[in-house]
Amino acid sequence: MCANCRHGRLVLQHDLTNRRVYAHCEDCEMGWLRAAEQADPDKGFLTLLGDFGFVDASLDEIARSEWVEHVCGSFDK
């Protein structure tokens, strides 16, 4: 659950420009670069203001990231 809006789900995204995985709230559009900071709204950033391309993170990308220990589910497509 999103620490900022308290109801949005966090989706792991791959930042194509900076080659990193980050958490993105599907409701309020806030993002967190560090898994350890995702519970603190003040550590997030408004993803709409970012100047980078992104796609859904792959399972491989997640497995290689610090976010791997924080995954608690997945979405069916």
Q: List pLDDT tens digits, range 24-35.
A: 999 999 999 999
State the average pLDDT over residues 53-64: 94
Residue 76: inside a domain: no
What residues contact 1, with CB distance under 8 A and at least 6 apart? 7, 8, 9, 10
Higher-pLDDT residue of 6, 75: 6
Domain count, the chain: 1
In a domain? residue 1: no
Reported as a pLDDT band with limits 50, 70 and 90, residue 76 is low
Range of the domain at 43: 10-70
The better pLDDT of the pair 22, 72 is held by 22
